[in-house]
């Protein structure tokens, strides 16, 4: 049996996007040899050429319909997005993820009928270019695809039984693993009765007893629920890959550096220690892909403000906390040669009346990322004036420190003194962004404060409409006796 490996998800829905070549160097410096991306971004794939890193590329859900209905479309997709980058010294593409969690209950079956035909067409397309045995097709599923009150009783949702039988048979025939995304954090976030210690790996006072098996953490319980579901279909020995797993560091109660380090290190130690689970003792997942490599400040926050803070590195490639990936380095290594803008920030002008600042705050936070200001965030306690300064600076950095973007009708001013407070970091943007950086990053907006009907610019909604890459679902993962469907939580508004 091959040893388990730790890889990462590399998402790119960012406000401040590092050059892909810088990110590839970051991966190599940290000896990360497996990476999962959510599309086939040419800039990213070109950066991976000759890196030796094994890559899982993705077919977005929105493309499943065309790939399922046309062999020609499938051939074209493989030609443009796979064979164009492979060959000697090229990109080492090992997996193609066909859709991303296409069976989420929140999708109401929107993509369900396209998955199997797309798989079959893509398999034939790979065969026609002699890559069918080298590149494996997989279908990353959210853990809401199966359900049970106890792991041993796990089964796929009734409406998915037929299609899952087809998919699992296909995977087995072609030597592909079952890929699942597991998020104990979402279980904790979505259910106030969920025992906090059950989300981690240090033991619990709320163990789940399932016959002779005892579960002391949600990850094992979730994984064995899938094992039981696969067993019911006759594929109990199918290899399992964890496509996404991680813990956010900001934006919600329980999302912090200490918890993220405890979860990720505990997970890595458990998987690389080959402990397995009660239903698969000594057999850990084939691979795990941490979610995620970098923070993504432009992601939709519909699931929660934490959604922009999953990275083990901050947006600029700086390690957030000590983490041993088990790959040879005891600690994470930071990105090298990151080119920052000058050390200057935009803050509230202390000599001006700030009573009419609300519209400016709405604009700044609608365009930039202010999620750390919200309830549970690392900047939640910096006060009204601090909130204003944080919002102004976030917008100012997004606009590449354009002096006009710190005007706010005279309410803002540029300072050379770092206004960061404790754990609340006022960022300085990176000047290393590529041509595919955020589409609004160079637009300057001003607000007429006499217009009482000025509305928030919802940049995150715009971005979400353009991408279906790596977005956490509203559904949580594992329905244990402590676990219920995740409900959207209303975040407390920032007081200014």
Active site residues: 101, 244
CA distances from 223 to 146, 152, 312, 459 (A): 10, 10, 23, 36
CA distances from 104 to 82, 101, 107 (A): 27, 6, 5
Is residue 170 packed enough to be buried (19+ CB in 10 Å), middle (13-18) or exposed (0-12)? middle
Q: How far apart are CA 386 and CA 80, in angstroms?
A: 49
Beta-strand runs (E) in 77-195: 92-98, 136-138, 141-142, 146-147, 155-156, 178-181
Task: Give the pair of three-digit tokens for residue 382.
Answer: 């910096």
271 SS3 class: helix
Task: Return d(Cα 263, Cα 245) in angstroms, integer.
Answer: 10
Give the closest residue to 234 by CA, choosing from 283, 317, 173, 310.
173
C-alpha distance from residue 356 to each of 351, 361, 371, 463, 496 (Å): 14, 10, 22, 29, 10
Identify whether the C-beta of residue 93 lies closer than 8 Å to the C-beta of residue 85. Answer: yes
Q: Where does 325-433 have alpha helices with state H?
A: 358-367, 383-398
Contact between 37 and 58 under an 8 Å Cβ cutoff? The reply is yes
Q: What DSSP state is assigned to residue 45? A: H
Closest CA to 241 of 378, 381, 140: 140
Separation of alpha carbons 238 and 228, rounded Å: 11
Rounded to the nearest 10°, the torsion over CA 151, 152, 157, 161 is: 140
Of 146, 15, 160, 214, which Cα lies nearest the Cα of 483?
A: 146
Q: Which of 493, 438, 426, 433 lies closest to 463, judged by CA?
A: 438
Nearest-CA neighbor of 449 among 347, 311, 353, 329? 353
388: closest CA among 411, 417, 366, 405?
Answer: 411
């Amino acid at each position: 049996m091959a040893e388990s490996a730790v890889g990462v998800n590399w998402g790119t829905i960012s406000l401040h996007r590092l050059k892909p070549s810088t990110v590839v160097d970051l991966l190599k410096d940290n000896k990360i040899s497996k990476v999962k991306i959510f599309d086939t971004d040419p800039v990213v794939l070109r950066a991976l050429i000759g890196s030796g890193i094994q890559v899982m590329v993705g077919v977005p859900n929105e493309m499943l319909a065309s790939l399922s209905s046309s062999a020609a479309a499938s051939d074209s997709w493989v030609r443009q997005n796979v064979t164009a980058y492979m060959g000697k010294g090229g990109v080492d593409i090992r997996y193609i993820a066909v859709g991303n969690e296409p069976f989420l209950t929140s999708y109401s079956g929107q993509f369900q009928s396209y998955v199997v035909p797309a798989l079959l067409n893509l398999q034939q397309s790979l065969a026609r270019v002699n890559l069918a045995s080298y590149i494996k097709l997989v279908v990353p599923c959210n853990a809401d695809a199966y359900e049970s009150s106890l792991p041993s009783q796990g089964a796929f949702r009734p409406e998915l039984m037929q299609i899952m039988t087809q998919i699992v048979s296909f995977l087995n025939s072609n030597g592909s693993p079952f890929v699942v995304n597991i998020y104990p954090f979402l279980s904790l976030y979505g259910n106030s009765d969920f025992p906090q210690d059950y989300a981690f790996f240090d033991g619990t006072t709320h163990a789940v007893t399932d016959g002779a098996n005892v579960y002391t953490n949600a990850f094992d319980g979730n994984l064995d629920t899938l094992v039981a579901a696969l067993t019911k279909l006759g594929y109990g020995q199918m290899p399992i890959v964890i496509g996404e797993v991680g813990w956010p560091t900001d934006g919600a109660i329980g999302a912090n550096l200490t918890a993220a380090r405890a979860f990720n290190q505990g997970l890595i130690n458990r998987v690389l220690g080959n402990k397995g689970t009660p239903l698969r003792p000594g057999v850990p997942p084939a691979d795990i892909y941490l979610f995620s490599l970098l923070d993504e400040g432009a992601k939709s926050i519909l699931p929660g403000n934490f959604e922009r803070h999953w990275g083990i590195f901050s947006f600029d490639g700086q390690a957030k906390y000590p983490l041993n990936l088990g790959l040879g380095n005891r600690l994470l290594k930071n990105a090298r040669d990151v080119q920052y803008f000058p050390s200057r920030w935009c803050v509230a002008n202390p000599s001006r009346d700030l009573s009419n600042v609300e519209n400016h705050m709405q604009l700044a936070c609608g365009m930039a990322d202010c999620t750390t200001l919200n309830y549970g965030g690392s900047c939640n306690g910096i006060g009204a004036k601090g909130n204003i300064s944080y919002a102004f600076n976030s917008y100012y950095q997004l606009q590449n420190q354009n002096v006009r973007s710190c005007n706010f009708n005279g309410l803002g001013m540029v300072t050379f003194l770092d206004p960061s407070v404790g754990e609340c970091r006022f960022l300085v943007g990176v000047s290393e962004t590529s041509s595919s950086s955020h589409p609004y990053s160079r637009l300057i907006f001003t607000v007429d404060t006499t217009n009482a009907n000025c509305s928030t610019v919802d940049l995150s909604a715009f971005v979400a409409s353009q991408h279906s890459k790596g977005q956490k679902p509203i559904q949580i993962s594992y329905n244990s006796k402590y676990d219920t469907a995740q409900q959207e939580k209303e975040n407390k508004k920032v007081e200014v």
